[in-house]
Amino acid sequence: MGDLLRLTQVAKRFSGLEVLKDISFEVAEGEVLGLIGPNGAGKTTLFNIISGILKPNSGRVVFASKDITGLPTHRVSRLGIARTFQIPQPFAEMTVLENVRATLLFSNPRPEGKLPRDAKEICEMVGLGGRLEQPAGSLSAPEKKRLEVARALASSPRLLLLDEFAAGLTLSESSWASEMIKSLSKDYGVTIVWTEHVMKILMRSVERVLVLQSGEVIASGTPAEVVKNELVLKAYFGGKPA
Amino acid sequence: MLLAELVVLGLAYGLLFGVLALGLTLIWGVMKVVNIAHGDFVIVGAYSSYWLFVLAGVHPILSILFTAPFGFGLGIIVYLGLVRRVVHAPELMSLFLTFGISTLISSLLLYIYSPNQRAISVTFPSINGLGVVLPGNVAIAAAYAVVVATLLRIFLTKTYWGKAIRAVTEDSSSALLMGINPEAVSMLAFGIGVAIASSVGSVVMLLQAVYPTGGSEFTLLAFVIVVLGGLGSPFGALLGGIVIGVVDNVASLYLPAAATPAIGFIILVIVLIVRPSGIMGAKGR
Amino acid sequence: MNRNTYKSHTSNSEMLAFGESKARRAISRTAGIGIVVLLLIVALGGAYYYTTTLGSATTSSSSGQTTTTTTTTTPYTGPTKITIGMTMPLSGSLASDGVMSLDGLKMWAASVNASGGIYVKSLNHRLPVQLIYYDDTSTASVVATDYQQLVAQGVNFLVAPYSSGLTLAAAPIAETNHLLLISHGGASDSIWSKGYKYVVGVLSPGSQYAIPVLQMLENQNSSTPLKVAFFFGNDAFSISVKTGALAFINSTSGKFSVVYNQLYDESATSYTAQLSQIQAASPDVVIGGAHFADGETIVKNIQSLGLHFKMVSLLVAPDDPHFLSDLGSLANNVAAPSQWESNLDFTHFSPYYGNITGAQFLSQFQSSFNMPPNYEAAEAYNTGLVLQRAISDSGSLNSTIVRNQLSSENIWTFYGNFQIGPTGIQSGHTMVVMQWQNGAKQTVWPRAVATSPFVYPAP
Amino acid sequence: MTEPLLEVSRLAVNYGAVPVLWDISLTVNRGELVVLLGSNGAGKTTSLRSVQGVLKPKSGKVAFNSKDITALAANKVTAIGLSLVPEGRGLFATMTVEENLQLGAFSKRARKRFGENLSSVYELFPILKERKGQRAGSLSGGEQQMLAIGRGLMSDPEMLMLDEPSLGLAPIVVSKVFKVLEGLKDRGLTILLVEQNVEVSLAIADRGYLLENGKIAFEGTPDQFRANESLREAYLGL
Amino acid sequence: MSPLKLTGFTLTRRRSAEMAVILVLLALLLVAPTFFARISVLFFILNWIVLAESFNMFAGLTGYVNFGHVVFYGVGGYVSALLMVNAHASPYVAVIAGGLASSLLALGISLPTTRLRGAYFAIATLSINEAFFVTFDSWDAVGSAPGLSLPISYYQPVVEYYVMVVVAIACVLSMYAISKSKFGIALQAIRQQEVTANSIGINAAYYKSLALVFSGFFAGLAGALAIWQITFIDPPSAFNVTITVTSISMAMLGGLGTVIGPVIGGALLYELTDLLGLSYPFIHLIILGVIIVGVVLVIPDGILGASRRVLTKVRGRR
């Protein structure tokens, strides 16, 4: 399996402040990559750059051998990159079904895709079968998270970016989420990049973790390797007062 | 020489325009309400001054001592009775409400005072210097503007409540943590905004005739200036006023007189496109 | 799972299904209410229409003002009053002119009704007049609907709204319904160049306004060509005045030279910039203006800039009595072309119609409305007089007959001469020039009616 | 001296329909420095903001000085002596350092002791006195944090809550800030500190709470924390 | 299965009732000139409905407040008037040309402005309108301040009325079609969450422009038709901000973003102003001001929203 996503020396500054400094990494087709790091490490900015919401100041983003750097969001989406938002942002006045159908309507189905193309089926897949006609704005938080996934799946992604997926979920909700994510990658061949603060879930579900701190990749490896890394421990627990 | 004269004139008018816009920008900054009735409060002030002059012989400049506090009280009443209820509603709601208030004020004035234009005959000797002539009334208006801008600056930088207004404008959630009651600040800002509008009305009486429905012209002017300067920025409002004042006057040298008002709007559209948040506005959208 | 099923799914059925729950919400609940409301409106409108057309004789529920009750005599089945419909700009930018005009007409109606009405020969009856007026908010589309309302109410005659633009909006309705439309405040010449048959003016058209001023200047002995600055407002009326003035200047070879010629924005807060430019062109006289507020501002600006011209003549503003009260001594020596002045006396002309002189008009208006009239009020009053005369002379309430009658009228009233050209444009009435002198309004031209000599050049 | 100054019992908070805090109970005694630990998104900031009254809790109770302040507006909470130094500092960037400090003393109670407090803040942070006429936005990150703390102190609080004071600061600056906090504690100020930097904050804290996913997962002294795996699990999952 | 069937049944029954009412209403509109003399009232009700609906077509669907809506009305009016006055064009051609010109203008305006948000977008569009006003006011080729007036031969109130009926129906149907189509779904998505909309593959900039083009087209038609009816156009009547604000008021009164809302709001507010103006020529504006303030304070979600609220309350009680 080749690389589906490759970032080369991506850098981003906001009014002089360097949020990302020369980030480079690859994601292999079918992989589930965990992206962790303390607050302000630049994870959401990175997602925004991959999904086209922000343009990097320098560097390249290559997806499926196509340079997508600076491409507008809607085109990135149609190429097969879907994302969920940290704070769920559904179309609040539409029902659950309408949210998913709207996405299906504008998505670009891939011939080799294994994901269902039927709105109800997708909703059932994420466990929203009983909420089809409910306005999205009135869903509970975990349900909104599920809807985020449903909407992302409806756009038939090859790559799924999950932003803080488990935050705000109960433990049982979270374990559902990790099962779901595993199945997406195994059964449907979706490649996933996943940022998370609820480490218990992430670390037990991914094969590889990338640790970001202050806009730099400080470590990369299996979860077990990473938690022993000195730099990572320092990033998370800080040092003793000098 | 003519050019120099026009620039001076534009500066003087621009200062007054800027102060007019200050009231609007203050209100926007604190509560994110675009007050479409702003110009109508100018007319209320102008009529107050007119009647004070006609009935009691009070000089329009002196009548500011009445119109400003009167406007302040009126603003607080309007805020408490109406505007308060749309502060947290979508933008369109407050636009619509203040439009309703504007209709109400102008039509009440129309009903009470008849549609006739009113003017006062008070003139100050014009000022000559360096070959430039500045009409006395315009100079007085500019002096008024400088005084108000200075007073406002002192208020905003030296007093607790003035700083509170700036604090809420800059970061209302932080201001809350300082123990500042945003509701009280909104009321104060609305009161001051209307007080400024209404005292500008007194000065306008020195410069031109007014009529009950003439408020929308002032609102529009203040709008353009405020956006040009950047919504919520008092200094930007003054700068925007001066830009519009000077451009308006100087453009008449090179353009058919009737076409000069277009310049302000065209500049505004260009500024918005190049720099969406105005000259002095914060960066970003 | 079959891959092919995914591909063919997007399509219309999906879209319609998407819309369905929306549709249910949008249509079923709301359309019901919508339709009920719409029906209600149609019903209301219909009901209103019927009450106003059928019931207009019995009620004054509309704004229509019944000024007098009818004298009841033997069985008489004809109309009980002469209805005259109009809109006036009672709000909006033209409101002050509209109110002034309406007051003039109200005063005329009151005086007619006090004298028992107008005798209509074809009915062998004296009928009182009733004015039906609406506020057109200075808006042309309101004029269009309200004149249809007036037509539907079956009014006998129409009076035009104040201003040329609004008159132009009312004209096609009058024309297609064959109702006489008398214009008292629409001075633009273009009103009479459209081929309307039913539109008649009582006032001198715009093109005539500046001519007496120029004639008067021509008469002041000046060896060199007189340098004139034209500084008019940017509106239909002022532009037609300027066009007429330029045409006149071109016809008088070499007497005038136009050194400045610009229109100004009437909503501007000051004209100091342009006035400085005018000064730079060093004209002898400034001729211009448009309406009231801008006119006052110009005079104030001239004073505050310390400029001096041999004469300043403005439209409209100086003629308004407020001009003096607002400006005090600044008003002195400012001149204006005027349709009418209260100190003009035409009683020695014949046939003189209407038992009122200019001075009487002034005092009666003053006591009725507690303010002095301007010429707009006089024009409006005169509109009533002219209509009254044509009804009496033709003995008919038929607009076509009355219109034809107007063609042959050549009368004098307190407002001056009335005589129209074939298009309905006023050709008999002439403008005068007024000037403020020591706090008093004086007529200075033509010499025949002048109350005081022209002060020129201004000191 | 174990007189409770702040008592939070069974606090639950939603963002719209989203529950963020489930059931938080914690106590801060007078004179104590308590640290609230937890990974990002665990609900630390939300806890502070609900205690302060910026957010309205769904249920539960907050008592300060034995007075129920659950329904009190945030500005009034500040006025009675509980002050929050927000995450990201929340400075008024276009205003001067001194103006920021003045605004800190906005409440009537604080205004009375303005001069006194100002000189003690300047004494605590001499750099602020040097920069008093400068715009707050032009200060360095560390100076900004000191200004934020100084501004919090200007309200003459009995208790100060700080949200992530080490955020975005270089390690050397972090240790400076924490020295200041230690000093404040020594002067008798009660402090509730929210911090990601575990090591540094445990070093100065009397007690700590670990927040995980909207719930209190562990409570104890710094030593108890160090002896326990719960922290590592909460932060790194393994 | 049976409850599904049942709802299906009631739905169709209700729908057919609605269809019947709509047909009756249409029939009434079509025969109105034979019994209703104030046909221009109906004309202007429909004209305002088109203005309010076309405002709604962009602002109601995308959530962007276009404070320069009347510029489309004005330009549509001017283009058609110029064609009729100078080229003696057929009024039908002139009206369509007016609509097309305005949609072209809408395209031009949308490109730089749709990236502005909130009050900035509102004020930018307002300024564009003012710039047009002032330019037309001093531009001799378009008649400048005196304006243009159509030859009397163009004045055919009944014909104009029927064209207006057709345009109004087309406008409301277009709004219906748009809001039910992929296009409408895109716009709704943009209004509710523009970032999410982009991230599911919706080209927000394109759809916003397209919506403004449609909005401009119908407002242009309305302007052209109004000029045909009034026979006179000048800058203050063509680019009057009050027209924008009135359109907004109408759409808000009925219910922004809905298909029927602007129809109800337009008809109601116009007729209200008309009747008030006729009955109380000196205080109708005061009443109007009170009504506007009242609407904001009492039914901020418009008649449709308010009645929906009342209905659910009533149903909830049962």
Structure ipTM: 0.79
Predicted structure pTM score: 0.82
Euclidean distance between CA atoms C347 and A225, whole angstroms:
115
Tell me, yes or no, whether D227 lies in a domain: yes
Could A168 and D41 be called an inter-chain contact, meaning their C-beta atoms sit closer than 8 Å? yes
Q: Which residues contact A80 (CB under 8 A, 6 or more apart)?
A: A63, A64, A108, A110, A155, A156, A157, A158, A159
Top-confidence residue, B263 or D206: D206
Tell me: cis bond preceding C205? Omega within 30 of 0 counts.
no
How would residue C11 be classed by pLDDT, with cut points 50, 70 and 90? very low
3-state secondary structure of A32: strand
Handedness of CA B239, B242, B246, B248 (dihedral sign): positive
Question: Which pLDDT tens digit goes with each residue over C34-74?
Answer: 555 555 555 555 545 544 443 333 333 334 444 444 455 56
Question: Which pLDDT tens digit goes with each residue over C195-248?
Answer: 899 999 999 998 999 999 999 998 876 667 899 999 999 888 888 899 999 999
Contact yes or no for D66/D55 (Cβ under 8 A) = no
Please list every residue in chain A whose beta carbon sits closer than 8 Å to the beta carbon of residue E198: 52-53, 72-74, 77
Mean pLDDT of chain C: 82
3-state secondary structure of E153: helix
Q: Residue B280: its pLDDT value, please?
A: 60
Amino acid at C401: I
Which subunits count as partners of chain B given 3+ CB pairs below 8 Å?
A: C, D, E
Contact yes or no for C51/C59 (Cβ under 8 A) = yes
Could B85 and E145 be called an inter-chain contact, meaning their C-beta atoms sit closer than 8 Å? no
Contact yes or no for D64/D72 (Cβ under 8 A) = no
Torsion angle defined by CA atoms of residues B50, B51, B54 and B55, in that order, rounded to the nearest 10 degrees: -160
Mean pLDDT of chain E: 85
Could C7 and A117 be called an inter-chain contact, meaning their C-beta atoms sit closer than 8 Å? yes
Closest residue by Cα to residue E211 from E243, E188, E195? E188
Phi-psi region of C194 (alpha: psi -120 to 50; beta: other; left: phi over 0): alpha
Question: Which residue of chain D is at minimal alpha-carbon distance from A224?
Answer: D238
**What radius of gyration, in Å, describes the C-alpha atoms of chain A?**
18
Please list every residue in chain C whose beta carbon sits closer than 8 Å to the beta carbon of residue E257: none
Q: Residue C107: its pLDDT value, please?
A: 95
B263 part of contact set with chain C, CB < 8 Å: no
Could D103 and B176 be called an inter-chain contact, meaning their C-beta atoms sit closer than 8 Å? no
Tell me, yes or no, whether D217 lies in a domain: yes
**B38-56 and B2-31 are packed helices; what angle lies between their axes, rounded to 10 degrees?**
110
B2 backbone dihedrals φ, ψ, rounded to 5°? -60, -40
Query: Which residues share a beta bridge with C294?
Result: none
Tell me, yes or no, whether D91 lies in a domain: no
Question: Which pLDDT tens digit goes with each residue over B69-87?
Answer: 999 999 999 999 999 988 8
Closest residue by Cα to residue D143 from D192, D103, D96, D203? D96
Query: Nearest CB to D198: which of A168, A202, A238?
Result: A238
pLDDT, mean of residues E6-24: 60
How would residue B253 be classed by pLDDT, with cut points 50, 70 and 90? confident
Contact yes or no for B47/B109 (Cβ under 8 A) = yes
Q: How far is D16 from chain B (nearest CA, A)?
A: 16
Could D83 and B177 be called an inter-chain contact, meaning their C-beta atoms sit closer than 8 Å? yes
The span from the first CA to the last CA of chain C, in angstroms, equals 103
Tokens of A11: 């850098």
Closest residue by Cα to residue A207 from A190, A234, A189, A225? A225
**What radius of gyration, in Å, describes the C-alpha atoms of chain E?**
20
3-state secondary structure of B82: coil
Tell me, yes or no, whether D95 lies in a domain: no
pLDDT, mean of residues E280-287: 79
E-strand spans in C225-298?
A: 226-233, 256-264, 285-289
Say which CATH number the domain at D39 has: 3.40.50.300
pLDDT, mean of residues C185-201: 89
Tell me, yes or no, whether D219 lies in a domain: yes
Top-confidence residue, A61 or A241: A61
Could C14 and A101 be called an inter-chain contact, meaning their C-beta atoms sit closer than 8 Å? yes
Tokens of D83: 């002050």
Query: Nearest CB to E192: which of A51, A72, A91?
Result: A91
Tell me, yes or no, whether D43 lies in a domain: yes
Tokens of A199: 């480490």
Top-confidence residue, E226 or E16: E226
Euclidean distance between CA atoms E301 and E137, whole angstroms:
38
Amino acid at E116: L
Tell me, yes or no, whether D137 lies in a domain: no
Amino acid at A173: E
Please list every residue in chain D whose beta carbon sits closer than 8 Å to the beta carbon of residue B182: 75
| % of chain B beyond a pLDDT of 70 | 95
A4 backbone dihedrals φ, ψ, rounded to 5°? -90, -40
pLDDT, mean of residues A36-54: 85
Contact yes or no for D3/D29 (Cβ under 8 A) = yes
Domain count, chain D: 1
Chains E and D touch (3+ CB pairs under 8 A): no
Question: Which pLDDT tens digit goes with each residue over D92-150?
Answer: 988 999 999 999 998 888 888 899 999 999 999 999 999 989 999 888 888 999 999 99
For chain D, positions 58-77, list CB contacts with chain B under 8 A: 73-76
Euclidean distance between CA atoms D78 and D68, whole angstroms:
14
Top-confidence residue, B1 or C438: C438
Closest residue by Cα to residue C322 from B84, B117, B93? B117
Query: Nearest CB to B213: which of C91, C269, C273?
Result: C91
Query: Which residues share a beta bridge with C132?
Result: C85
Question: Among A168-182, C275-289, E264-278, which is the least confidently predicted range?
Answer: A168-182
For chain C, positions 16-55, list CB contacts with chain A under 8 A: 17-18, 21-22
Question: Which residue of chain D is at minimal alpha-carbon distance from A227?
Answer: D236
Closest residue by Cα to residue D36 from D206, D184, D159? D206
How would residue C127 be classed by pLDDT, with cut points 50, 70 and 90? very high
Question: Which pLDDT tens digit goes with each residue over D210-232?
Answer: 988 788 889 999 999 888 878 77
D160 backbone dihedrals φ, ψ, rounded to 5°? -120, 135
Euclidean distance between CA atoms C261 and C267, whole angstroms:
19
Question: Which pLDDT tens digit goes with each residue over A87-114?
Answer: 888 888 888 998 998 888 888 777 777 7
Closest residue by Cα to residue C206 from C245, C168, C233, C171? C245
3-state secondary structure of C436: strand
D93 part of contact set with chain B, CB < 8 Å: yes
Could C274 and B124 be called an inter-chain contact, meaning their C-beta atoms sit closer than 8 Å? no
Tell me, yes or no, whether D34 lies in a domain: yes
Q: Give the DSSP H/E element, type plus range, for residue C82.
A: strand C82-88
Question: Among A3-7, A191-195, B172-176, B225-229, which is the least confidently predicted range?
Answer: B225-229
Q: How far is B143 from chain C (nearest CA, A)?
A: 16
Question: Which residue of chain B is at minimal alpha-carbon distance from C369?
Answer: B114
Q: How far is A101 from chain C (nearest CA, A)?
A: 7
How would residue E140 be classed by pLDDT, with cut points 50, 70 and 90? confident
How would residue E14 be classed by pLDDT, with cut points 50, 70 and 90? low
Q: Residue B284: its pLDDT value, please?
A: 34
C373 backbone dihedrals φ, ψ, rounded to 5°? -80, 160
Check whether C373 has a pLDDT greater than 80. Answer: yes
Q: How far is B283 from chain C (nearest CA, A)?
A: 33
Task: State the residue range of the domain holding D58.
Answer: 1-81+158-165+190-238
Q: Which residues contact B174 (CB under 8 A, 6 or more apart)?
A: B167, D86, D90, D91, D92
Check whether C5 has a pLDDT greater than 50. Answer: no
D229 part of contact set with chain A, CB < 8 Å: no
How many other CB atoms are there within 10 angstroms of residue E275's CB atom?
Answer: 16
Q: What is the DSSP string of D162-215?
A: EE-TTTT--HHHHHHHHHHHHHHHHTT-EEEEE-S-HHHHHHH-SEEEEEETTE
How many other CB atoms are there within 10 angstroms of residue D76's CB atom?
Answer: 15
Contact yes or no for A139/A59 (Cβ under 8 A) = no
Euclidean distance between CA atoms B63 and B70, whole angstroms:
10
Closest residue by Cα to residue B215 from B68, B107, B122? B107
Closest residue by Cα to residue A211 from A196, A192, A191? A196
